[in-house]
Chain A
């Protein structure tokens, strides 16, 4: 034992309390946003009535139906997907040692889109009944989701196999991901080229990520997997700090770097695969939320991981809320809005630099 004479570092502890305060503030904001998100839409319900309904008070049977069957599952899906994509993003950025890494770097979203295209075009699960987007139906959503999920796992398996053979280095993983992305994009284009109008519309429609598709069942499944992933990443926050300090430092600190990379990648891929196959492709959240949080509370993973989770929930829920009201009565898919809302905020944060 070298030093036991040290004092408690109150200055450092104050500094960490400030970080936790930010995260706590984010959670409060997320809850407020949830109430607002449920209250707005085709029928306006006052936030107070929303809160009362959620607390189990019987305000109105009509409100009950709207809130419990439509708006609450959609809002919770937005939060769960946002949290999942964002936590997968922050993990991928650390695993691949690359600020541009996101849940989609490994080609998982393109694999999912290709799987959905196969389901629609080859297995005939999609059709279009009129020219407006809402009338396009995937008439067998379970089969489409399953095929998309299988292809997501296939992409993950290929990358895992390659990194097993060539060593789990960030370069190998990123290059394999880029190669798979291109391959699946080309596959999707090939299918689209030979599909009829209705199938083409269904394939494109599927690819626009939309949190309105989720049911309570799919939400439960997504929430379970996202929760497991969050617990895994939080439990490994010190190990991610270690690989951020460099592979050699991490190994010198007793971290099994290769195993951490492989398991982290599988967990991130699984989360992404579940979200993509149920909701379609929702870009930007996984890339940008961790960076927003980095700008506000820094790179220390103890704060970055929970911070990114909260930020992911906020961004996707806010985007979905705006998507539902911006061109009412039409409802935009949330994927269009995430980039619209995320990009300006991100550019602002880049310009402002870090806060002290």
Chain B
């Protein structure tokens, strides 16, 4: 058990955002936090390394209680990769070197330079070493941010929407890299995600959030069509294409539909009317391309 969270509760000002969150993660696992927008996925992620301070609850990393550690100590155990990577007029090498911050005293040592150098080889981004961040693409920046979190030498890596702004090629590259480093180095990764298909493909375990708390939590078997509909309010089918699990929404919400109906086009564009209760509004806008 590398990370365990118990009875975590988070308030923003006086509003309860998360309540009664409890789960644990083992070495070599990738955990996906799923749920609709605004449910508190990112908040939960940020509570895990004290970017946000939970109101109550215990988080332990390798048996150590996180709240008893200095922030710098936390950073030696948990690395964080934000959704948006800031650029500036500095080289990729400088940017990754910054990941050694939790280990640096007055100045960097030869060891820090060697570790960063090896990270550039490991992530196959050696050609970017002396390129400036403000001249890089989104995929390259994301890779730099992951390398930066990795040279922190953490036991756990947190990712906030690691692939949300990336093209298909970069999505695959980034997630495969995360998969590899997690297995190879026996660390753990927690990532918030929107894309259920990507999550199903790369994560080992899943946390579905709904109404400020964990709706279900477990391995691949907990992600069923029923649970997804319960959390997102959208009917889906889960199929498999060439052995890859695939979540397909079975509704097509279109502007011409009336307020109180959801149309389905599963069967040759026959409109089927679904009654819809007021609490169970679908949160997706338009699903196109079906």
Binding site for B on A (CB under 8 A): 1-9, 11-13, 15, 235, 238-239, 241-242, 244-246, 248-249, 251-256, 294, 298-300, 354
Contacts and interface: CB of A to CB of B under 8 A. Distances in A.
Nearest to A253: B101
Contacts, number: 130
Contacts of B98: 238, 241-242, 245, 253
A325 B106 CA distance: 44
Contact of B71 (A1, A256, A300): A256
B220 interface: no
Contact of A6 (B89, B91, B115): B115
Contact of A9 (B73, B116, B158): B116
Contact of A251 (B80, B90, B121): B80
B98 to A, nearest CB: 5
A254 B93 contact: no
B46 A248 contact: yes
B94 to A, nearest CB: 5
A252 B51 contact: yes
B90 A248 contact: no
Contacts of B70: 254
Give the size range of B's interface with the partner.
35 or more
Interface stretch (B55-63, B148-156, B223-231): B148-156
A245 B95 contact: yes
B99 A8 contact: no
Given A2-B185, A4-B111, A15 B149 contact: no
Given A6-B116, A8-B117, A253 B129 contact: no
10 contacts: A4-B111, A7-B114, A244-B86, A245-B95, A248-B82, A249-B86, A251-B71, A253-B101, A294-B89, A299-B88
A7 B111 CA distance: 9
A253 B96 CA distance: 12
Contacts of A299: 88-90
Contacts of A241: 90, 94, 98, 101
A13 to B, nearest CB: 8
A254 B49 CA distance: 9
B79 interface: yes
Nearest to B72: A254
A9 B129 contact: yes
A11 B75 contact: no
Contact of B118 (A3, A239, A253): A3
B266 interface: no
A89 B148 CA distance: 28
Interface of B: 46, 49-51, 70-76, 78-82, 84-86, 88-91, 93-95, 98-99, 101-102, 104, 106, 110-111, 113-119, 121-122, 129-130, 132, 145, 148-153, 158, 160, 185
Given A244-B86, A248-B51, A299-B89, A254 B118 contact: no
Contact of A255 (B49, B71, B82, B160): B71
B89 A255 contact: no
A319 B119 CA distance: 47
A298 B89 contact: yes
A254 B129 contact: no
A6 B114 CA distance: 4
B138 to A, nearest CB: 15
A17 B122 CA distance: 26
A148 B71 CA distance: 39
Contacts of A4: 111, 114-115, 118
A298 B133 CA distance: 11
A1 B186 CA distance: 11
A246 B145 CA distance: 11
Contacts of A12: 91, 93, 113, 117, 129-130
Given A238-B104, A254-B71, 18 more contacts: A2-B115, A3-B115, A4-B115, A6-B117, A8-B117, A11-B130, A12-B129, A238-B98, A249-B82, A249-B148, A252-B49, A252-B78, A252-B81, A253-B101, A253-B152, A254-B101, A299-B90, A354-B89
Nearest to B78: A252
Contact of A252 (B73, B82, B153): B82
A252 B79 contact: yes
> Which among B76, B95, B117 has the greatest number of chain A C-beta atoms within 10 A?
B117
Contacts of B148: 245, 249
B114 A8 contact: yes
A254 B74 contact: yes
Contacts of A252: 49, 51, 75, 78-82, 149, 158
A11 B111 contact: no
A242 B101 contact: yes
